[in-house]
């Protein structure tokens, strides 16, 4: 049974391989008791409920809690901070109800004196070993309640010596992994960009001793595309407390009488199989449970994007020539980036004016689209809905549609202003505008960009403490409306690179642009961080021009995800085009395994002179090796996830050989040659016979 309730005070959740336990102690505190490898006997946890505490000293900090709140002798970071109308600012509760509905457990905590209710939701996904958590607040009183903080989940890990993994980053160097030992005090990972931003990610992985391959890892991933906060705190009473949810910085939510609020979800997991185990769990869960169903099993086409070739000088005729060349080398989707609309000749003008520029496309955009389709390719277009240049018809018509502070000049980011998505009329206008654009042309794919962060967080209605949150909901309403009206279109989420990579966006989009940086060695590091939580299928990666690096090296780095080409095809020699054609053909042979297979990061570039990634799906295994310094000889690498007794043909042609899965996983194989900056793709196929 997935959910076990005992005596209305002990609650135990089981997935295939894990157990999560909590219970109410004699003081009425909902204690967190355990999360880890499976313990079948739920009754054992009754014992944990009796661990005594010393009430004279920070009583509430001494126990691991399921849902802590500001006040009540707590010094630690907590999940909830509220203020009632009479300025009472703590939440003292009784657990008044516990109910199950299918795979969901709902615990109701009711304030002892005030008509305010917190419901903790746990949905048990046994198959994926994931517990989905969220919190619901309800004001049953007759006066408003101000909510200053409400996180989605709190996770306590018993003992000390934990490290917490997250990423740091800036534009063009996103997703840089770092593990922080949380030995004392706390560490905060946060975004104040109005979206996920570059700095950190809305997830955590906590462990004492773990690497890619093995070790106990507890992790949580927040599905929220706005400002988030993750706090990892070493509480001096021998546990690590992690809280995560909507950032409470500049957050204040008035909850009216009778009103309720539901937080974003957190996906919580535990694995004994190290960081790779965590990633594989999340990748499978994201595929099966989060991705838009209609498109999740559709492989990503090989894409060509003309941004690096032409930048803002987008002209119909030249794009047609690029499309011809793209089709010749095997590209399946041709994409026009920024610069096709309004008076968009640079980043200084035109943003907001979503009509096709007639000088750039004298024969109309439809002509180019027909041409692309006649070449057997799909067609894609770039948009940036949430922004406006001051030099645009949209801004001239609606200067009040952007965020601004009184008399101050509006802050510019990339010469543009942010549209105020908290205004329903702005979102309605954007839905109508883009719905019309997407309906007027035979567009197959949209690259949705966002090139500046929010600054002036002001709500016209005076609800300033909700601006960041409401802005993110405006974005989601827009994205959901376009997705619903164009269910077969593919959407890519880009934000000046990877500032919108998160699990909530993943549920409406089909792929991410992880970074504007396409240098293979930098990309390897970015991709290592990216794949911790997000799948290879969603990781768009382009081959771009760099005469210092071979085509195959650049290509094989991009093959680690969904391959795209960003080169200026009009400038490439016949030889270079032929090389690209070969690489694309190779990618098509491994695409399904890369995009839908299980990923094993056998070696990380961060800690080695080479990155070696292995993907397994059915009888095919693909190993992609990217060597930085060949001088540091590569030892044989042991593969993972194969069938020990099965036979695999390694490589192809005369040099192919057949060995067992057990050999490959224990004795290993040399995956690469001995050249600096080289990339190899090794294909292994399961074969019959001895
Ligand atoms: C930033 C994106 O990350 C690039 O790929 C490109 O689309 C530019 N914006 C266009 O302005």
| Gap between the Cα atoms of 289 and 504, Å rounded | 12
Count the alpha carbons within 13 Å of 461 in the hemisphere toward its beta carbon.
Answer: 11
The strand ranges marked E within 140-286 are: 145-158, 163-170, 173-181, 185-190, 203-207, 217-222, 228-235, 239-246, 253-255, 260-262, 266-271
Residue 56 has pLDDT above 70, yes or no: no
pTM, full prediction: 0.98
Q: Name the closest-CA residue to atom 11, ligand 1.
A: 338
Taking 70 as the threshold, does the pLDDT of residue 221 lie above it?
A: yes
Query: pLDDT at residue 239 above 80?
Result: yes
Tell me the best of 303, 307, 517 to mutate to test the pocket of ligand 1, counting ligand atoms within 8 Å of each CB and taking the most: 307
Higher pLDDT, 671 or 116: 116
Could you give the 3-state DSSP secondary structure of residue 290? Answer: helix
Q: Do the beta carbons of residue 58 and residue 73 sit within 8 Å?
A: yes
Give the C-alpha separation, 151 to 673, whole Å.
50
Tell me what pLDDT residue 518 has: 97
Q: Report the C-alpha gap between 664 and 684 in whole angstroms.
A: 10
pLDDT interval class at 55 (50, 70, 90): low
Dihedral angle over CA of 350, 352, 356, 358, nearest 10: -30
Stretch 479-486: mean pLDDT: 98
Q: What would the pLDDT profile of 548-598 be if each residue is shown by its tens digit?
A: 999 999 999 999 999 999 999 999 999 999 999 999 999 999 999 999 999
> Which helix (H) or strand (E) element contains residue 323?
helix 316-329
> Would the CB of 451 count as within 6 Å of ligand 1?
yes
State residue 326's pLDDT score. 98
Residue 329 has pLDDT above 70, yes or no: yes
Band the pLDDT of 151: cuts 50, 70, 90. Answer: very high
Which is the closest atom of ligand 1 to the Cα of 311? 10
Provide the b/e sequence for 616-654 (b: ≥16 CB within 10 Å).
bbeebbbbbbbbbebeeebeebbbbbbeeeebbebeeee
- CA of 573 from ligand 1 middle (Å) equals 26
Residue identifier of the C-alpha nearest atom 5 of ligand 1: 516
Q: 156-177: string of b/e by CB count within 10 Å (b at 16+)?
A: bbeeeebbbbbbbbebbbbbbb
Q: How far is the CA of 495 from the centre of ligand 1 (A)?
A: 8
- Please give the distance, rounded to the nearest whole angstrom, from the Cα atom of residue 382 to the centre of ligand 1: 9
Distance 668 CA to ligand 1 centre (A): 41
- Confidence check: pLDDT of 156 > 90: yes
Which of 494, 523, 564 to probe ligand 1 with, by most ligand atoms within 8 A of CB? 494
DSSP result, 550-596:
-HHHHHHHHTTSEEEE-S-GGGS-HHHHHHHHHHHHHHHHHHHHHHH
pLDDT of 58: 62
Q: Please, what sign has the CA dihedral across residues 191, 195, 200, 202?
A: positive
Pick the closest to residue 112 from 98, 93, 95 (CA basis).
Answer: 93
- For 210, the token pair is 């773990």
pLDDT range class, residue 461, cuts 50, 70, 90:
confident
Question: What pLDDT digit, counting tens, does each position of 101-143 carry?
Answer: 999 999 999 999 999 999 999 999 999 999 999 999 999 999 9
What local confidence, expressed as pLDDT, does residue 242 receive? Answer: 98
Six-digit token string for 685: 């196929």
Compute the distance from residue 449 Cα to the ligand 1 centre, in Å.
Answer: 7
Split at pLDDT 50, 70, 90, the class of 59 is: confident
Q: What is the pLDDT of residues 610-640, one digit of tens each?
A: 999 999 999 999 999 999 998 777 889 999 9
**Residue 659 predicted with pLDDT over 80:** yes
Q: Is the CB of 307 under 6 A from ligand 1?
A: yes
Dihedral sign for Cα atoms in the order 602, 605, 610, 611? positive
- Ligand 1 within 6 A of CB of 492: no
380 CA to centre of ligand 1 in angstroms: 14
**Would you say residue 163 has pLDDT above 90?**
yes
Average pLDDT, the chain: 96
Looking at residue 608, its pLDDT comes to 83
- 192 has pLDDT over 90: yes
Distance 584 CA to ligand 1 centre (A): 23
Higher pLDDT, 675 or 382: 382
Residue having the nearest C-alpha atom to atom 2 of ligand 1: 496
Ligand 1 centroid distance, CA of 398 (Å) = 25
Confidence of residue 267 (pLDDT cuts 50, 70, 90): very high
Q: Show the tokens assigned to 215.
A: 């070790």
CA angle 618, 621, 622 (to 5 degrees): 140
Say whether pLDDT at 57 is over 70: no
C-beta separation of 378 from 445 below 8 A: yes
Q: Cα dihedral sign for 622, 509, 252, 452? A: positive
- Of the residues 308, 337, 453, which should be mutated to test ligand 1's pocket, given the most ligand atoms within 8 Å of the CB? 337
Q: How far is CA 306 from CA 212, 313, 330, 543, in A?
A: 36, 10, 15, 12
The confidence band for 406, taking pLDDT boundaries of 50, 70 and 90, is: very high
Q: Within a 13 Å sphere around the CA of 469, how many CA atoms are in the beta-carbon half?
A: 24
Mean pLDDT of 298-304: 98
Confirm or reject: Cβ of 337 under 6 Å from ligand 1.
yes
Going from the Cα of 348 to the center of ligand 1, the distance in angstroms, rounded, reads 14
**Residue 174 in contact with ligand 1 by CB distance below 6 A:** no
For the ranges 73-87, 340-354, 486-500, 604-618, the lowest mean pLDDT is seen at 604-618
pLDDT, mean of residues 345-354: 98
The per-residue pLDDT for 355 is: 98
pLDDT recorded at residue 627: 94
566 CA from centroid of ligand 1 (Å): 12
The mean pLDDT of 5-28, rounded to a whole number, is 96
Kindly indicate the confidence band of residue 690, based on its pLDDT and cuts at 50, 70 and 90.
Answer: low
Helix axes 551-558, 520-533, angle to 10 degrees: 10
Cα(505)–Cα(501) distance, integer angstroms: 7
């Amino acid at each position: 049974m997935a959910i076990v309730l005992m005596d209305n005070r002990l609650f135990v959740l089981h997935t295939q391989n894990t157990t999560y336990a909590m219970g109410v102690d004699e003081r009425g505190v909902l204690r967190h008791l355990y999360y880890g490898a499976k313990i079948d006997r739920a009754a054992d946890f009754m014992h944990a409920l009796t661990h005594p505490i010393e009430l004279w000293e920070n009583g509430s900090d001494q126990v691991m809690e399921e849902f802590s709140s500001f006040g009540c002798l707590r010094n630690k970071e907590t999940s909830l901070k509220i203020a009632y109308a009479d300025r009472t600012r703590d939440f003292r509760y009784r657990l008044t109800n516990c109910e199950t509905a299918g795979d969901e457990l709902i615990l109701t905590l009711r304030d002892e004196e005030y008509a305010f209710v917190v419901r903790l939701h746990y949905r048990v996904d046994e198959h994926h070993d994931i517990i989905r958590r969220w919190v619901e607040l309800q004001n049953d009183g007759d006066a408003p309640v101000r909510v200053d903080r409400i996180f989605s989940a709190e996770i306590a890990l018993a003992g000390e010596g934990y490290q917490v993994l997250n990423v740091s980053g800036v534009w063009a160097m996103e997703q840089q992994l770092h593990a922080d030992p949380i030995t004392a005090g706390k560490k905060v990972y946060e975004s104040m960009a109005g979206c996920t931003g570059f700095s950190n990610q809305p997830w955590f992985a906590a462990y004492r001793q773990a690497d890619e391959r093995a070790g106990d890892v507890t992790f949580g991933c927040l599905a929220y595309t706005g400002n988030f906060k993750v706090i990892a705190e070493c509480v001096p009473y021998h546990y690590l407390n992690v809280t995560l949810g909507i950032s409470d910085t500049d957050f204040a939510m008035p909850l009216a009488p009778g009103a309720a609020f539901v937080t974003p979800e957190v996906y919580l997991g535990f694995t004994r199989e190290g960081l790779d185990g965590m990633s594989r769990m999340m990748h499978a869960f994201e595929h099966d449970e989060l991705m838009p169903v209609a498109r999740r099993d559709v492989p990503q086409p090989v894409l060509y994007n003309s941004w690096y070739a032409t930048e803002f000088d987008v002209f119909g005729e030249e794009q047609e020539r690029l499309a011809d060349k793209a089709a010749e080398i095997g590209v399946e989707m041709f994409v026009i980036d920024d610069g096709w609309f309004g008076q968009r000749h640079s980043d200084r003008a035109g943003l907001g004016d979503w009509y096709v520029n007639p000088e750039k496309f004298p024969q109309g955009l439809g002509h180019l689209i027909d041409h692309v389709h006649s070449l057997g390719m799909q067609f894609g277009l770039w948009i940036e809905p949430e922004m406006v240049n001051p030099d645009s018809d949209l801004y001239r018509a609606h200067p009040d549609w952007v965020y601004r502070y009184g008399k101050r000049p509006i802050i510019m980011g990339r010469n543009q202003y942010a549209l105020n998505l908290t205004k329903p009329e702005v979102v309605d206008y954007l839905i109508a505008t883009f719905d019309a654009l997407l309906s007027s042309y035979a567009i197959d794919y949209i690259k949705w960009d966002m090139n500046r962060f929010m600054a002036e967080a002001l709500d016209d209605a005076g609800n300033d403490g909700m601006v960041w949150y409401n802005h993110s909901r405006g974005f989601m309403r827009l994205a959901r409306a376009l997705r619903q009206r164009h269910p077969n279109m593919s959407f890519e989420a880009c934000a000046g690179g990877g500032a919108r990579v998160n699990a909530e966006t993943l549920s409406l989009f089909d792929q991410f642009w992880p970074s504007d940086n396409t240098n293979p060695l930098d990309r390897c590091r970015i991709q290592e961080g990216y794949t911790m939580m997000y799948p290879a299928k969603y990781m768009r990666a382009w081959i771009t021009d760099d005469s210092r690096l071979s085509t195959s090296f650049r290509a094989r780095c991009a093959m680690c995800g969904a391959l795209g080409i960003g080169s200026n095809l009009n400038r490439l020699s016949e030889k270079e085009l032929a090389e690209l054609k070969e690489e694309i053909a190779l990618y098509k042979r491994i695409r399904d395994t890369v995009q839908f297979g299980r990923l094993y990061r056998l070696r990380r570039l961060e800690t080695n002179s080479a990155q070696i990634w292995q993907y397994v799906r059915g009888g095919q295994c693909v190993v992609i090796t990217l060597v930085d310094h060949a001088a540091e000889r590569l030892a044989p690498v042991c593969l993972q996830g194969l069938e020990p007794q099965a036979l695999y043909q390694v490589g192809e042609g005369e040099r192919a050989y057949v060995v067992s899965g057990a050999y490959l996983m224990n004795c290993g194989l040399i995956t690469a040659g001995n050249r600096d900056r080289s990339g190899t793709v090794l294909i292994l196929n399961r074969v019959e016979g001895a």
